[in-house]
Amino acid sequence: MDLSKDILAEDFADHIRKNEMDSNYGFEKEYQQLYLESHNQSQTVASAPENGAKNRYRNVLPYDWSRVSLKPLQDEPGSDYINASFMPGLENPQEFIATQGPLPQTVGDFWRLVWEQQSHTLVMLTNCVESGQVKCEHYWPLDTKPCTYGHLQVTLEGEEVLENWTVRDLKLWHMQEQKMLHIRQFHYMTWPDHSVPYSPDPILAFWKMLRQWLDQTVGGGPPIIHCSAGVGRTGTLIALDVLLRQLERDRCVRPFNYVRKMRESRPLMVQTEAQYVFLHQCILRFLQQPDQALTENGAACENPLYKNI
């Protein structure tokens, strides 16, 4: 089977049916091929002794060529490092930034990343604690009292909490430059680590809301997307966004090709076979209801956001 060829929209259901035969044997073979083609590229900066404590997981390190560099701080070796990678999109080779969930000692670096990239969009796909384990530091304010990290002050301006996700409006103020950046954080709360949501429908509704926001947000840097390691759930959502847009534009998709391409920029993107299968199931569900309004309790992304704090 040629994994590189286009799968037409009208053939996608048949493609999934064939791959699901014999206990997902086709998907298993595709995923094994992704593993065999994994790229052992240079990770020198991420592996440097001064940066070791900045990595949440030792096996998830950004490649040198695609890592996002911070502006170095004076007299702080390694201060240009954060565990984050530029990711290719539909046409732009740096359409997204995939990063790990901040650690206590890297929250300041995370907000420097947001400021330096001038990103208006954060996407969080983990909870801070899952199954008793800390997966991500709580990096935004709990209430209206601002948090300060170096020259940057973060303020929570509004939030709306729904069943599967929360949307927050944040304000980032650079106290030295006297400039402001408005940010919207989309926090999906019901996606288990190393696993998949119970149904494609909520994640498709979340994607539709996010994509609507991205399409109407002019200017600024790449959306910053993270889970805990910044590869499994993060990779699956980025792949879903790119492949659904490719489907709308070309009426065909190449899921294997795109996941392979992602892995050239950051290791382990779409981390499990279950996530790879779920990606296909989401595409199929989208094809089955392309015109259906996918919303959660009427959630939309108009401005300004709900002032529920």
> Which residues are annotated as catalytic?
227
**Contacts (Cβ under 8 Å, ≥6 apart) of 12:** 253, 283, 284, 287
Dump the DSSP string for 242-254. Answer: HHHHHHHHHSEE-
Q: Is beta strand 165-174 parallel, antiparallel or unpaired with respect to 152-161?
A: antiparallel
E strand or H helix that includes residue 281: helix 273-288
Distance, in Å, from the CA atom of 189 to the CA atom of 8, rounded to the nearest integer, reads: 33
Report whether the peptide linkage leading into residue 304 is cis, meaning its omega lies within 30 degrees of zero: yes
In terms of C-beta distances under 8 Å and separation of at least 24 residues, what long-range contacts does 177-181 make, across chains too?
177/151, 181/114, 181/115, 181/118, 181/120
Q: How far apart are CA 269 and CA 21, in angstroms?
A: 25
C-alpha–C-alpha distance, residues 275 and 231, integer Å: 11
Q: Specify which residues 173 forms β-bridges with.
A: 153, 180
Alpha-carbon dihedral sign for residues 83, 126, 279, 302: negative
Determine the Cα–Cα distance for residues 292 and 238; give it in Å rounded to an integer.
22
How far, CA to CA in Å, does 63 sit from each of 15, 68, 168, 172, 180?
33, 10, 31, 28, 31
Nearest to 217 by CA among 169, 163, 162: 169
